[in-house]
Structure 1
Amino acid sequence: GIMEKADNVYVIGSDFGWSDLGTWGSLHEITPKDENNNASLHCKTLYIESNDNVVTMSDDKLVVIQGLDGYIVAESDKALLICKKEEEQRIKHFVTDVKFRYGDEYI
């Protein structure tokens, strides 16, 4: 409708790729990683004897992780999640359990 009559609109064909960021696994895939396949988002992280993890914390926090392989470590305002990456589909159940036990305060 409206765009058909515009003289100042241009289209350039391109391929930007696609990744569904609906999972921690896909987020881990597109995030830069260290030599041990660890990905850190929004935080400084020191990994010791740890591989294949994804960590996100508040910007002002330093995270030191030792001996974890294949985990998600994620912080929100009032909660900390530590979960095996291979079990990330269970996070929805964890959220339901938290709501049932503690209400919406931590969600």
Structure 2
Amino acid sequence: MSLTTALKAQEKQSDLKNKRASYLSKQMSISLTSAYRLVEISDKYVESSNRIYHDSSLTSDQKVKRLQFLQQERNNQIEAISATEGKLDSKDKLAPLFGLPAKK
């Protein structure tokens, strides 16, 4: 892969992240900064969970424990953003975006 191709791919990825954050900000009436943080949390979670899932050196039990820890860490970060924004009903509005169960 040439340097130009790599730079174009990186630019495209950054543009996509900005579009996702902008959309999320508008849909949820939250600040663009918080929306960008949510996109970063989501991306990090997906990347980390894929890494754990495909790690052949871990047993199934180890994978489950690490994935549970990762999920709790993600939920805590989402809760922190929810508290900062104040406009969000805890994580209820975020639930569908992150595959979280909605509160009943």
TM-score range relative to shorter protein: under 0.3
Q: Which has the larger share of strand?
A: 1
TM-score normalized by the length of structure 2: 0.27
Structure with the larger RCO, 1 or 2 (CA within 8 Å, 6+ apart): 2
TM-score normalized by the length of structure 1: 0.26
